[in-house]
């Protein structure tokens, strides 16, 4: 909620850092892409049957 309440009080990257997400490093993007890839694989398995 603090993140949402902060609005435009700081730069977006700085606001995200306060939530524990540091988009200046590759980890969050790589994790998101891994999750997305897994979901695509699951979708493919479900629709091939």
Average pLDDT over residues 8-17: 93
Residue 15 CB coordination number (10 Å): 17
pLDDT at 40 over 70: yes
Query: Rounded to two decimals, what is the model's pTM?
Result: 0.66
Average pLDDT taken over every residue of the chain: 93
Residue 49: pLDDT band (50, 70, 90) is: low
How far, in Å, CA of 44 to CA of 36, rounded? 12
Question: How far is it, in rounded angstroms, from Cα 28 to Cα 34?
Answer: 10
């Amino acid at each position: 909620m603090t993140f949402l309440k902060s609005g435009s009080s700081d730069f977006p990257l700085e606001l995200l850092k306060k939530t524990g997400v540091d988009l200046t490093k590759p980890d969050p993007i790589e994790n998101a892409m891994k999750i997305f890839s897994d979901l695509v694989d699951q979708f493919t398995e479900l629709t091939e049957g």
